[in-house]
Chains A and B, each alone.
Chain A
Amino acid sequence: MAFALEFFLRRISQGVLIVLAVAFVIFTLLRIAPGDPIRIILGPMATPSAMEETAERLGLRDPIPMQFLRYLGDIAKGDFGNSFIRGKQGGTTGGSQDAAGSPPVERAPVIELIAKALPYTLLLAACGFLLACLVSIPLGIMAGVKNSGWPQKVALYLSSLLVSLPNVWVGIVLIYLLSARTGWLPAIGYQHIGYVIIPAIVVAVELAPVMIRSISVAVATNVQDPFYEIGQVRGLSARTMLFRHVLRNAAVPLLNSFGAQMIGMLLGGLFVVEYIFSFPGIGLLTINAVFQRDFPVIQTVAIFASTVLVFINIAVDFASTTIDRRLKF
């Protein structure tokens, strides 16, 4: 127990520092990037004096570290700022349409935008990941246990095939085949759970080859460990050895590649897929925010993403040390 406590104390404090550093970098980059956010908020017709006044009011003329500190203070109060663009009622309220209209305070709080988009993203990620697991776990294990035979060939060919398909292309082909041509499944936007199927397949296609590879390699390594054969000589069945011992040992490298590689792929994949399918999750929100220079949204998503990454890695490391007590983090 003491170990767990110390582990979390140490790792969470490190994690918080990392997230803070990431937040500061993003914050600074967005502020020194070309393009005046005031112009975006107020639109091209705004007078210089009105712009100056708004900038002062929003604190955009203060030194960056000061702005950052103020931003952190706001975050501590649960206030992640407001979108520059999006109105409270939803929809884009770019300055150009109603230059005189809605003042910035009327814009939607970023946190609400995220709260609305997050469930969709989680749903898509979960479905995609599950789908990838359904294919790659059995295939990876079979390919790993036997060093020859059809499972290994299937695993090899399937993963080389999948890895060479760009997800944009897979997305378009699937939309064409399953939706446009046959009308079996809906594809664009989101109205009910059916809308998640095609995007989830695309996410899975991206994840599966990596997962098949890591699983079969991890299983193969452990099957070669003496304890696997000796276990059978000791009187345990090959099945028990595989499911109770080999998989347990294989989980450690798998967790690691999940934390280091797959989670990044998953996040990246989600962004692209949501954009292709106009799927109303965090990815779409962010990409639109980038196009519209909606800085508060971009920076909040970035901070959230880095927080998620950091904490997933803490969880992964903790799980690894719990499974294999020889590891030290």
Chain B
Amino acid sequence: MAAELLLKVENLSISLGSGEAARTLISNVAFEVRPKSVLGIIGESGSGKTLLSRALVNWVRPPLRVTSGRVIYQGRDLLELPEADMARLRGREIAYIGANPTTALDPTMPVGHQIEEKLRTIEPDLPRREARQRVIDLLDAVRIPSARSRFDEYPFQFSGGMMQRAMIVDALISKPKLLVADNITQPLDVTVAAQILRLLRDLQRDFGTSIVFVSSSFGTIVEVADEVVVLDKGTIVEAQDTGSIQKNPVHPYTKELLAKVPRLWHDVGSVPETNAEPVVLSVRDVAKTYEVKDRASLFRKNRVQAVRGVSFDVRRGESLGLIGESGCGKSTLSRLLSSLESPDRGAIEVNGVDVATLRGDALLSMRRRFQLLLQDPYNSIPSHVSIGATIAEPLRIHRLATGQQLRERVCEVMREVGLPPDLYDALPVGLSAGQRQRVNIARAMVLEPSVLILDETLSALDQVEQAKLLDLFDSLQRKHGITYLYISHDLAMVRRACARIAVMYLGKIVEIGDNETIFDAPAHPYTRTLLSSVSTVEAKPFLPRDYLLEGEPPDPIHIPGGCSFRSRCPFVIDTCRTVEPTLSIKAGGTATACHLDVDRLPAPSILAKARIGAAPKRMDSL
């Protein structure tokens, strides 16, 4: 049997540092990879999965040390191999793709040229022209549009998804026998991640490559892997084939992991509902265009239409979610809403007053009621200032409190957001990411805002911490009637937190409606596509095969006429090419910008639908 194995890891341990202070990060890990199969390794952040995947290509550098074990590739121990022999395998028979494709290549050389460089290093006799053709063919095969001209473009001109495709080409160009893919879909949009997974599966079939697929997302792993090993704090706690691990997880940690996978349709519990309070924030036809220099022509500027006429209302104590792929304009919109920039046209009204007309004190107090929370909990907190002083700073700036009163107010807010008030005089060193985010929240909350904009605020946190903060936001909302605007690409979070959801595409809202309608019965093909590409462990009502989404949104410089989604819409009809659909109100207050009737779209998958329905008799029938 052993001869059949492609890779066998035995008893592998890796530690950080040496001697007394050494910390073991990987201990006694063992697994096997058969030829032409996909092994999934799942682990949370900090489980040592990146380290493990690097050890597979013998890329463990001091102060990290392999303390025991063997990595046997086709009968040879990679860890013992002389550097020269290892160099003959690396990038040739054994390829590696990392989580961050944007820093993997030399930023000053065209992407294609670098892949060609690698190919010609591996096959020095290959004529340049042939090498180039092979790279272009493979770029084509991973569906990079206009591969021939993309060949000469630079890494910064590639989006994250394109770049990850290019790295896949780079890995597969040498027809490797083993591919180690370390969390490769993590930084990507769901739609792109879904495409990359599909692509990887196709390529694995065509090339017969074995893949070690490392990921922190159960939903992703089960979509590609034949077998799954579960890594917890550097040890393997369970190994099973993909089907059975989902049905019969044995180890408690596996069960916990599975339970933590966010659900969108099953056991979602009650979702937030809309209310009838007065409108707090009203956005009217807001647009923003940026000008960037066009390198290819003389004195010409390109107009990037980031936001192209967006309107919505948010009521007091309600949460609105803004979702869409990267580049859809949600970040620009968040900057406009938090008055970091002003819109080219349209109005943002707070309690009926146009923000653009405010000056002086009125503007200041409006800003106070309108707080923005960003994603990065690290850089936003000064490290040499005590936590209490950091939280108190906005109060000082707005001259709202002094002395004892100020201290009391800060302590009260700290208690409210779940920070022990004895941390008042402590420095922020040693705070976890979640606690740091709480400091940020407290800093916004001391001003008693009425609207909080959460721009990917929770994206950097793990599932558990995220859930805790969502609960916190909930209770703050109930207590103070705060309005939230969640700007996020995380559909599961939006499902759990938002009463209403707006879907953006190319700077416009294509569909807006309440939580249930958007997730269970959306009428816009794009909304359904987004939902179909989520990686989950549950059956989805919208199947990827019905909403197959290729490529990425067109760049916001050359937006096609007619419906802006038509270049990727699977249901495009003649009218779509010429007439731009407007948002029209459907039943239940949902507004959708599409010419097509809902009935003409594929019906939601029965399997999932049956489970969605709370009716117990249907559950029985499964």
Residues of A near any B CB (own CB < 8 A): 2-3, 5-6, 225-227, 229-237, 240, 244-245, 248-249, 252, 323-326, 328
Contact residue range for chain B? Answer: 20 to 34
Residue of B91, B103, B109, B156 touching A234 (CB-CB under 8 A): B91
Known A-B contacts A3-B295, A226-B103; A326 and B59 likewise in contact (beta carbons under 8 Å): no
A248-B108, A324-B107, A325-B154 as given contacts; A235 in contact with B91, CB under 8 Å: yes
Can you name 27 A-B pairs with beta carbons within 8 Å?
A3-B296, A5-B298, A6-B299, A225-B103, A226-B98, A226-B100, A226-B104, A227-B105, A227-B106, A227-B107, A234-B95, A234-B104, A234-B171, A235-B91, A235-B95, A236-B91, A244-B117, A245-B106, A245-B109, A248-B106, A249-B107, A252-B108, A323-B108, A324-B107, A326-B108, A326-B156, A328-B293
B248-283 interface code vs A (CB 8 A; 1 in, 0 out)? 000000000000000000000000000000000000
Considering the complex, which residues of chain B in the window 74-118 have a beta carbon less than 8 Å from any beta carbon of chain A?
87, 90-92, 95-96, 98, 100, 103-109, 117-118
Contacts of B90 in A (CB 8 A): 232-235
Q: Which 9 A-B pairs have the closest CB atoms?
A: A235-B91, A245-B106, A226-B103, A234-B91, A324-B108, A3-B295, A230-B104, A2-B298, A2-B297
Known: A2-B298, A232-B90. A227 touches B103 (CB 8 A): yes
Chain B positions within 8 Å of A, measured between CB atoms, are: 57, 59, 61, 87, 90-92, 95-96, 98, 100, 103-109, 117-118, 121-122, 154, 156, 170-171, 174, 293, 295-299
* Cα A235 to Cα B95 with chains together (Å): 8
Chain B neighbourhood of A233, CB < 8 A? 57, 59, 90-91, 96
- List the B side residues contacting A236 at CB < 8 Å: 91, 117-118, 121
A227-B297 contact in complex given A235-B92, A244-B117, C-beta closer than 8 Å = no
Q: CA A282 – CA B295 in complex, angstroms? A: 40
Interface of A, secondary structure class, is helix
Bound complex: CA of A227 vs CA of B57, how far in Å? 16
Q: Which residues from B are CB-within-8-Å of A240? A: 117, 121
Other A-B pairs, 17, CB within 8 Å; known A2-B298, A234-B95: A2-B295, A2-B296, A2-B297, A227-B107, A229-B61, A231-B106, A233-B96, A234-B91, A234-B96, A235-B91, A236-B118, A240-B117, A248-B109, A249-B107, A325-B154, A325-B156, A325-B295
A237 to B122, CA, bound (A): 11
Q: Which of chain B's residues has its CB closest to A327's CB?
A: B108
Question: Which residue among B108, B171, B296 has the maximum number of chain A CB atoms within 10 Å of its CB?
Answer: B108
Q: Which residues of B contact A2 (CB under 8 A)?
A: 295-298
Contacting residues, chain A, for B91 (C-beta < 8 A): 233-236
Give the CA-CA distance A225 to B106 in the complex, in Å: 9
Once bound together, how far apart are the Cα atoms of A245 and B107, in whole Å?
Answer: 9
- Could you tell me if B104 and A325 are in contact, using CB atoms closer than 8 angstroms? no
Residues on B with beta carbons closer than 8 Å to the beta carbon of A234: 90-91, 95-96, 104, 118, 170-171
Could you tell me the distance between the alpha carbons of A227 and B105 in the complex, rounded to whole angstroms?
Answer: 5
Instruction: Return chain B residues, CB-CB under 8 Å to A248.
Output: 106, 108-109
